Amino acid sequence: MTLRTVITGVRLLDPASGLDAPGWLVAEQGRIADYGSGTLDARPGDAVMIDGRGACLAPGLVDIRVQLGEPGAEHKETFASGSAAAAAGGVTTLACLPDTDPPVDDPAMVEFVARRARRVRGVKVHPYAAITKGLAGRELTEFGLLCEAGAVAFADAGHAVADSLVMRRALSYARSFDGLIVQHPEDPALAGTGVMNEGEIATRLGLPGIPAAAEVILIERDIRLVELTGGRLHFAHVSTEAGVEAIRRAKAGGLPVTAEASPVHLTLNELAVEGYRTYAKVSPPLRPERDRLAVVAGLVDGTLDVLASDHCPQDQDSKRVPFAPAAFGAAGLETLLGVGLILVHNRQMSLLDLLARLTCRPAELMRLDAGRLRKGAPADLVLFDPEAPWQVKETGMRGLARNTPFEGMLLQGRVLRTLVDGRPVFEADDAA
């Protein structure tokens, strides 16, 4: 069995180095052995040969916000189904949130995640650990032990750490381990029982709303706590103009603050929930068009460092119900690249800039050896055609979770192959 793969006839893209040129790549023993521009002179006879036919070859995507249902909700997503969905979306490395049942708040659960991921042998899965025990927002977990066990960052998933003193202690504690705290920026008291954005549409639909202020209030508070402690803080799925602007000011002041956008908040606004469309019920909620445009501007100018799928798997029973009791969340792994490429096709950002927010930048935040083309680096790669059109259909999705708000949408840009450590984990039916 050969352990060497040669990929020729591709457009090599590496946002970390700025590489964008026609070329080739050789993967050997799971690592990138060599790559270069132009035509490969000698083609080893014992290698698997892949003709890229002009498609783009880039580092595999690094997705830092993914929920998996296992353990506790295997009917929504498992390690195997989530890994298959990730591979189909070009994701080779993902960080999974700790809101499982039981939650990942002790070293044994961190080790469980790592062990299950190794058994599946799909994409690479790195565990978050909870900031607070039981995700209850009161008592901090043992950050040091959790880091030793393999946790890459700390988050209470879709729960905000609302207590200011607890967040202050978390930032101070994590700083001693160079740990990253990830906050869901939504004041729970203000959000209350809201199920969509507060405004005219919510009033007309007769649904309780969540004000935009619930986001920026928590962001502003946490920025003050970063000033106090010096801890590294990352804001997940920012959705409002005020939130983006607050983060922009904090960065201008040199604070160690980062943030991310999600595909749904980049491309959809609150109109998507018209007709009580539960697949568009997400947390934070979809906002007015002005906020959507601010999120796009924030990703383009780098205020928002990362584009993450915010994959939140739900089963049909959780979504095929009236809007108010329906679960929050959308499946996102398989549409991450295609939706992101909308910005490239609209000439709002370059392909390299988009890939930076999907590869090297999230890898840097999590201190992962991923997200770049480099000799000796893991051969985690995605081959994709940025021009190929396709239509999102839930019946064609690989994961168990098919609660996509993009159902029926036409996208331009399709993954052809995904390799992890040089090993194929996804191949489109008509791949080159």
| Residues with active-site annotation | 310
Burial class (CB in 10 A: 0-12, 13-18, 19+), 423: middle
**In whole angstroms, how large is the CA radius of gyration of the chain?**
21
The Cα 52–Cα 432 span in angstroms is: 6
The Cα 291–Cα 306 span in angstroms is: 17
User: Count of residues for the chain?
Assistant: 432
The Cα 5–Cα 365 span in angstroms is: 30
Give phi and psi for 111, each to the nearest 5.
-65, -35
Cα angle at 183 between 179 and 184, to 5 degrees? 155
Q: CB count, 10 Å around CB of 385?
A: 20
Q: In what order do the strands lie in the sheet with 154-155?
A: 154-155, 180-183, 232-235, 257-261, 306-307
The Cα 432–Cα 427 span in angstroms is: 9
What b/e string do you get for 351-365 counting C-beta neighbours within 10 Å, with b at 16 or more? Answer: bbebbbbbbbbbbbb
Which residues make Cβ contacts (< 8 Å) with residue 223, sequence separation at least 6? Answer: 233, 246, 247, 250, 255, 257
Residue whose C-alpha is closest to residue 386's, from 57, 165, 24: 57
